[in-house]
């Protein structure tokens, strides 16, 4: 692959504004490229989409590309991302395609690709797709070999049966679930009820305008859920993003669970080898030390976590964002199974608030600076060359993903460009809140000065 080949994939598939970054031409080309790469005539490709208004349009364009290269398209309709990954594996398909922009606003859409084992395409596979599109090396077929379309919605019941078999939950836990009017609006509340939970569902009517709340499960967007959990005395609240590959928990006091602490207690419960990213807190390491476990760190992005799980035969992997992978079930991130895991912890060890409060706190700031995509490369070059000079007591500069700078007292900061949005992200952890704000201000001022 040569450097002039345009990059289409970010940290989680292809994503952008409909009509600008995501066009019908791109969708058709993706269909033809994945068909050409995955085997051509007779190949089986699973195809699903979330609740966005542009999804059927893009689905039809992708389908046209697949059919033009002789593929057999297995349509599962509106479905959360974990169901697409599962269906790709369960149906022994050659690839899976999920049409979604995950947590992005409604004017966005995107495409994610999945391997036969339910794992997201690796970077080298994504580069191959980019190369096929750039060189137009499509393996199209004649009229007599055009592929066929089949609806296989029965795989939903298989997913429900298999995911329930993974759960060890007793009846009675009171759960409020917020599906963001997204792809899991029907499925997540149904599964929670089937395992015995008493469920109150909000924003669980699919709607591509996301009228209940925006699909990013942030504290700002989850205020209604937090109030309801506390008001009705629920044991836990669960929130998904638009495609439900993520899960955010609300404790019984109506507080959003600290991302890092929640990841840490789940890692501790699973034990063994776990994978997380360079932006995850040291509290995961502390919890794993308690059970003799081992933490493996990798680049930000669920595909990198998946690769590290596979390469290291790890038992679990997750990002602080709530994107968790359960390799004993499927290599696709699954926010619904993640919710079941946290409910199990509540039943086993008591209130979630007590479990989280028992984990040591390290002041953490996750911030972002607006930055156009064309500026990112030059800004990151300056960050690599100069940022460590303005910070105090620097002991290590790690460039595995962006720039992570560690200081003598254990404080650290990670600067990296977003792979899906027009931001430079600042993530840091410090020994006290004053130092955290000082580091954040120094880094933001430095980046804003470059812009």
Q: How is residue 419 annotated by DSSP?
A: S
pTM of the predicted model as reported, rounded to 2 decimal places: 0.88
12 labelled ligand-binding: no
User: Which one of the listed residues 51, 54, 102, 188 is annotated catalytic?
Assistant: 102
Contact 283, 360 (CB under 8 A): yes
418 labelled ligand-binding: no
d(CA 188, CA 370): 34
Contact 303, 12 (CB under 8 A): yes
Q: What is the pLDDT along the chain (451 residues), one digit of tens a residue?
A: 445 888 899 878 899 999 999 999 999 999 999 999 997 899 999 999 999 999 999 999 999 999 999 999 999 999 999 999 999 999 999 999 999 999 999 999 999 999 999 999 998 999 999 999 999 999 999 999 999 999 998 999 999 999 999 999 999 999 999 999 999 999 999 999 999 999 999 999 999 999 999 999 999 999 999 999 999 999 999 999 999 999 999 999 999 999 999 999 999 999 999 999 988 888 898 899 999 999 998 988 888 999 999 999 999 999 998 999 999 999 999 999 999 999 999 999 999 999 999 998 888 898 999 998 889 999 999 999 999 999 999 998 988 889 999 898 878 899 999 877 889 999 999 989 999 999 999 999 999 998 7
Q: How is residue 333 annotated by DSSP?
A: -
Residue 125's CB is within 10 A of a number of other CB atoms, namely 18
Question: HSE of 61 in the Cβ direction (CA atoms, 13 Å)?
Answer: 17
Domains annotated on the chain, with CATH: 14-156 (3.40.120.10), 168-357 (3.40.120.10), 364-450 (3.30.310.50)
357 labelled ligand-binding: no
Q: How is residue 13 annotated by DSSP?
A: B
- The yes-or-no answer on residue 102 being catalytic is yes
3-state secondary structure of 412: strand
Buried residues in 172-195 as b, exposed as e (16+ CB within 10 A):
ebbbbbbbbbbbbbbbbbbbbeeb
245 labelled ligand-binding: yes
Q: Which residue has the tokens 């004017």?
A: 107
* Sheet with 294-298: strands ordered across: 294-298, 273-277, 316-318, 324-325
d(CA 54, CA 110): 10
């Amino acid at each position: 692959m040569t450097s002039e080949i345009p990059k289409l994939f970010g940290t989680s598939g292809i994503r952008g504004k409909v009509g600008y970054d995501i066009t019908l031409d791109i969708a058709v080309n993706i269909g033809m490229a994945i068909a050409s790469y995955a085997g051509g005539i007779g190949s089986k490709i699973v195809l699903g989409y979330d609740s966005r208004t542009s999804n059927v349009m893009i689905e039809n364009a992708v389908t046209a590309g697949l059919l033009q290269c002789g593929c057999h398209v297995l349509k599962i309709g509106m479905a959360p991302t974990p169901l697409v990954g599962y269906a790709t594996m369960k149906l022994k398909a050659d690839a899976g395609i999920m049409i979604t922009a995950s947590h992005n606003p409604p004017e966005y859409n995107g495409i994610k690709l999945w391997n036969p084992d339910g794992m997201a395409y690796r970077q080298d596979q994504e580069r191959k797709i980019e190369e096929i599109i750039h060189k137009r090396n499509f393996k199209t077929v004649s009229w007599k070999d055009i592929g066929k379309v089949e609806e296989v919605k029965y795989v939903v019941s298989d997913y429900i049966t298999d995911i329930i078999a993974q759960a060890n939950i007793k009846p009675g836990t009171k759960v409020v679930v917020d599906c963001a009017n997204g792809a899991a609006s029907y499925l997540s509340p149904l599964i929670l009820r089937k395992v015995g939970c008493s469920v109150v569902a909000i924003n669980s009517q699919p709607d591509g305008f996301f009228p209940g709340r925006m699909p990013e499960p942030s504290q700002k967007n989850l205020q209604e859920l937090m109030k309801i959990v506390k008001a009705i005395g629920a044991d836990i609240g669960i929130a998904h993003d638009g495609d439900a590959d993520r899960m955010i928990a609300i404790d019984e006091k109506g507080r959003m669970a600290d991302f890092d602490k929640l990841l840490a207690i789940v890692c501790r419960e699973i034990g063994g080898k776990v994978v997380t990213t360079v932006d995850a807190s040291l509290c995961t390491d502390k919890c794993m030390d308690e059970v003799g476990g081992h933490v493996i760190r990798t680049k930000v992005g669920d595909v990198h976590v998946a690769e590290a799980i596979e390469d290291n035969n790890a038992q679990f992997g997750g990002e602080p964002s709530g994107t968790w992978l359960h390799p004993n079930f499927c290599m696709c991130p699954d926010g619904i199974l993640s919710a079941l895991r946290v409910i199990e912890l509540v039943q086993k060890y008591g209130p979630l608030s007590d479990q989280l409060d028992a984990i040591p706190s390290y002041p953490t700031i996750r911030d972002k600076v607006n930055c156009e995509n064309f500026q990112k490369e030059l800004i990151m070059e300056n960050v690599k060359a100069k940022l460590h000079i303005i910070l105090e007591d620097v002991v290590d500069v790690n460039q595995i993903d962006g720039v992570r700078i560690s200081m003598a007292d254990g404080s650290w900061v990670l600067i990296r460009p977003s792979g899906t949005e027009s931001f430079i992200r600042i993530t840091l952890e410090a020994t006290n809140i004053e130092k955290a704000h000082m580091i954040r201000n120094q880094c933001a001022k430095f980046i804003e000065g470059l812009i």
